[in-house]
Amino acid sequence: MECLTDMISREVTIKNSIGLHARPATFFIQKANGYKSSVWVEKDDRKVNAKSLLGVLSLGIAKDMTIKLIADGSDEIDALDGLQNLILNELE
């Protein structure tokens, strides 16, 4: 299998009670905007910019859904670590 880019990705299951809607989504995109890397969220073959509130909200991410975080750039590992930690430990 040929790899066209050096992007990294990680799957994360949403644990907070309301998913990535409204307030939690705002916190998520604020965190994503803190990284230099390009960051995307993928769910059910749809991929959106993680730095776009409308994009993230359009995925309809609810509790117990698994999403894929994808990052590409100079701080891509930090971006995935930070966003995963936010989703698993800080959102409510």
Output the CA torsion 78→81→83→87 (10° steps).
Answer: -170
| Candidates 21, 49, 73, 75; catalytic one | 21
Q: Which residues pair with 70 in a beta bridge?
A: 9, 40
State pLDDT tens for residues 45-65: 999 999 999 999 999 999 999
For 14, the enclosing helix (H) or strand (E) is none
Q: Does pTM top 0.85 for this prediction?
A: yes
* CATH entry 3.40.50.2300 includes domain 8-90: no
Active-site residue 21, yes or no?
yes
Token digits for 39? 């960051």
State pLDDT tens for residues 73-89: 999 999 999 999 999 99
